Chains A and B, each alone.
Chain A
Amino acid sequence: MGLGALALALTVTASACGTTDTGGSASEDGACEGKIGVMGALSGANSSIVLPSVDGAKLALKQWSEENTDCDIELVEFDTEGDPAKATPVATKMATDDTFLGVIGGAFSGETRATKSIYGDAGLTMISQSATATDLTQEDQSPVFHRVVGYDDVQGAAIAKYLSDVVGAKKVFVIDNSDAYGEPLAAKVSEELGDLVTASDKTQVAQTDFSPTVSKVNSSKPDAIFYGGYIAEAAPLLKQLRDAGIDVPFVGGDGLYGADFGKAAGAAGEGAIITCPCVPIEDGTFAEDFEAETGAAPGAYAAEGFDAMTIFLDAIADGARTREDIEAFVDDYDEQGLTKQLAFDENGDIAVENVVIWAYKVVDGQLVPDQEISLS
């Protein structure tokens, strides 16, 4: 570390020369300006689950800026490829740059786990649009972390309720994808269902041939199937189940939510039930505005991205100019958002009674809102 000291000494002398503005500095008192970061897999294999929420946030900023022309708020995108190793330098950059007032993200639970302490150290408020892992708020709390979605345990309980009450299933076959999202969700569903689970199987990400799972399903003759995982695996799984003549209801979590499901599953996807802690966009304006802006229907978590950004914008409109102000404002926030009543408890979660979980049905390749699953 002796050389480190030498290097430090060099810095002091060198920084007097021409420099670049890398650190950034906090805005002048009172000026309505600042940056909000959004962090997630913006490129790479998993980006299709993240990009709609970024577009949602952009839309929120655009609409707000049209009304608040005297403000200069910038939404800065940070690509992590969903990889915790790539997320930490990005998070550190935002944490150490004072012009950043808040972060939307992380989009996935893994990168969120890896960066929470960085933002915590810097007191930078995070509002996640889609990180649903239970432990993020229930086991390892952080004062700066908030999320506008219900977490996996809540969703898992809702799915179990849907399976037992709405589907009326007596024998449920539970499948998960062995990954950080599908495994705990399926475990929670199984726990809530208790004796109703007849058998279960574990598959893995990037699998396409599910014939061993299909024969297990065949021999246990369930009257409903739950799958915790993502679209890329659910589509071939469903095709093989249907091909084998297994026509019982197929229920999946929010990992399957999005326009991509119909495109990937095709005919086999018809009638599948997908639950999501995201409300259907009833009044057309958001969906229409979103489509006008991006040319596509709102995908997964688009409305949640919009809500997360709206909270930050409301804070800025309220006069919050420092990270402390923002954090205090977000903690006390209580407004009706696009998706639900947005108010955070001490862990940073939406109160369970405000979490809305909806079941969607695939009809002609489109997700059609079927019914709200009551949590009580």
Chain B
Amino acid sequence: MSDLNEPTPDSTTDPSPQGRATGAFGLPRLNIADRYSKAPLWVRMPIVLIGISFAFYLPFLNILPFAYIRTDLTSGGSDWGGVLFLIVIYMIVAIGLNVVIGLAGLLDLGYIGFYAIGAYSVALFGSPSSPVTEMIADKFGLSEGWAVPFVACVPIAIALALASGVLLGAPTLRLRGDYLAIVTMGFGEIIRILSRNVTSVTNGSAGIIGVPSPPEPSENFFSAIETAHWYWLALSVLILLIFLTRRLEDSRVGRAWLAIREDEDAAAVMGVNAFKFKLWAFAIGAALGATAGLLFASKQAYVEPTGFALNLSFLFVAMVVIGGSGNMVGAMLGAFLITYLPERFREFQDWRPFAFGVAMVAVMVLRPQGLIPSRRRAREFADRKNEAEEAAADA
């Protein structure tokens, strides 16, 4: 981590064939990506639309053999729509964390803190039984059961997350990689412990029930068992966020992040205010994490502190890195695999965490660049590997 920001020599030189070929599976996939990105708009648009409509259709996918991806085929399975919803939530988390880790190169081990802030914001302000709404209602003589409507909770959650991102980032972003990692980890833990200990505000370990649902087009549209509706909602948010993040990556801010990640000193010499852009990455990442947390809490209708444990932060980082840090599609793939596989293979029960650990090590050892790395990262890894081989040959 110390050299997340270290210069990576030659990463901008012409891609050698080895630089592109990142393994037997990598090569054809990159070709598809190349051909897709070079295709004219009238080819790309329908592909995107078909992809999106397929994603919306997924909860009802029932045609063999594709239906085998469903998680509810065995009698001990879990609801397919509910799993899809969770996958999409973690995908939002992964895009957010990818901004921080993959694009800006900052190791954040406390991302769950922002997720928790999103979840608790909607619970604290939106639930009629939270201590915060009760206090406000009491103070202003509002009727019993008053709460901030869901629509107003969304900006509150995002504003709180942005503020906490800046508050955490401002004093700590000057720290180097590993030190930042542990400070963010501490932040995640502090959020969880505060939500548990400050009972007068958060209702403590008992948690808060009655977290509001989004406005419904028809009655019971967002009831707890209509998981497909929740999935559609999360998916729509995800698509919107993908679009926004894509724009951001290609913007001046995105280029500044890349420059900082590759070589902070060189970027500074070129006039990039590293601190400012890192803070941006932190705040934007925080807002995305909070959005995911907010949707999760709303579907769950219940938040409690143990849901935001430290190991989830590690899991989030694993999603981004295993998928391919720096590449949004990769990060989303990581989120998908890590959420989906344990649900799909429930019949293996207690063997799943063990298998998960083995798979994690195997993927990293065999494919350290991640499953779908960004092109730039893949080249970087190949360069590093060549370098190591050359050094070994010299010795």
Contact = CB atoms under 8 A, between A and B. Distances in A.
Complex A–B touching at CB under 8 A: yes
Interface of A: 1, 3-4, 6-8, 10-11, 14-15, 17-20, 22, 35, 42-44, 47, 74, 76-79, 83-86, 88-93, 95-97, 110, 113-114, 117-118, 121-122, 133, 135, 140, 178-180, 183-184
B225 A118 contact: yes
A7 B57 contact: yes
Given A85-B300, A93-B82, A135 B206 contact: yes
Interface of B: 52-53, 56-57, 60, 62-64, 67-68, 70-73, 75-83, 85-86, 196-197, 204-207, 209, 217, 220, 223-225, 227, 232, 236, 296, 299-302, 304, 306-307, 343, 346, 349-350, 352-353
A250 to B, nearest CB: 23
Nearest to B81: A92
Given A89-B227, A110-B306, A113-B207, 8 more contacts: A3-B52, A11-B62, A17-B63, A20-B73, A22-B72, A117-B224, A133-B206, A180-B206
A88 B236 contact: no
A22 B67 contact: yes
A14 B60 contact: yes
A3 B307 contact: no
Nearest to A6: B53
B301 A117 contact: yes
Given A42-B349, A92-B224, A178-B196, A74 B206 contact: no
B64 A18 contact: yes
B307 A85 contact: yes
B76 A77 contact: yes
Nearest to A77: B76
B235 to A, nearest CB: 9
Given A18-B63, A22-B62, A89 B224 contact: no
B63 A19 contact: yes
Contact of B343 (A18, A43, A44, A89): A89
B307 A89 contact: no
A84 to B, nearest CB: 6
Contacts of B346: 79
A307 B217 CA distance: 43
Nearest to B309: A83
Contact of B307 (A11, A83, A90): A83
B64 A20 contact: yes
A13 to B, nearest CB: 11
Given A117-B224, A180-B207, A90 B79 contact: yes
A57 B81 CA distance: 29
A35 B299 CA distance: 26
A19 B209 contact: no
A6 B304 contact: no
B304 A10 contact: no
A10 B57 contact: yes
A109 B63 CA distance: 38
Contacts of A1: 217, 232, 236
Nearest to A176: B205
A70 to B, nearest CB: 21
A42 B78 CA distance: 14
A15 B79 contact: no
A183 B207 CA distance: 12
Contacts of A84: 300, 302, 304, 307
B78 A78 contact: yes
B349 A43 contact: yes
10 contacts: A1-B232, A1-B236, A19-B64, A77-B76, A85-B307, A96-B79, A110-B306, A121-B220, A178-B205, A180-B207
A4 B68 CA distance: 22
Contacts of A77: 76
A118 B64 contact: no
Nearest to B227: A92
Contact of B62 (A20, A83, A135): A20
Secondary structure class of chain A's binding surface, majority of residues: helix
A80 to B, nearest CB: 9
A15 B299 CA distance: 28
B90 to A, nearest CB: 10
Given A92-B82, A113-B209, A43 B57 contact: no
A118 B79 CA distance: 12
Contacts of B60: 7-8, 10-11, 14-15
A15 B225 CA distance: 21
A78 B350 CA distance: 12
Contact of B224 (A44, A93, A121, A133): A121
Contact of A89 (B57, B83, B223): B83
Contacts of A91: 79
Given A4-B232, A43-B350, A122-B225, A183 B205 contact: yes
Nearest to A85: B307
Nearest to B58: A7
A35 B224 CA distance: 21
Nearest to A15: B62
B205 A179 contact: yes
A20 B197 contact: no
A155 B71 CA distance: 40
Contacts of A180: 205-207, 304, 306
B223 to A, nearest CB: 5
Contact of A19 (B62, B196, B205): B62
B86 A89 contact: yes
A72 B155 CA distance: 53
Nearest to A83: B307
A105 B268 CA distance: 58
Nearest to B63: A17
Nearest to A114: B302
A319 to B, nearest CB: 24
A92 B232 CA distance: 16
A43 B206 contact: no
A140 B307 contact: no
| Nearest 3 pairs of A and B residues by beta carbon | A89-B82, A92-B79, A7-B56
B88 to A, nearest CB: 13
Contact of B301 (A18, A79, A92, A114): A114
Contacts of B70: 20, 22
Given A88-B224, A92-B224, A178-B196, A43 B352 contact: yes
A18 to B, nearest CB: 5
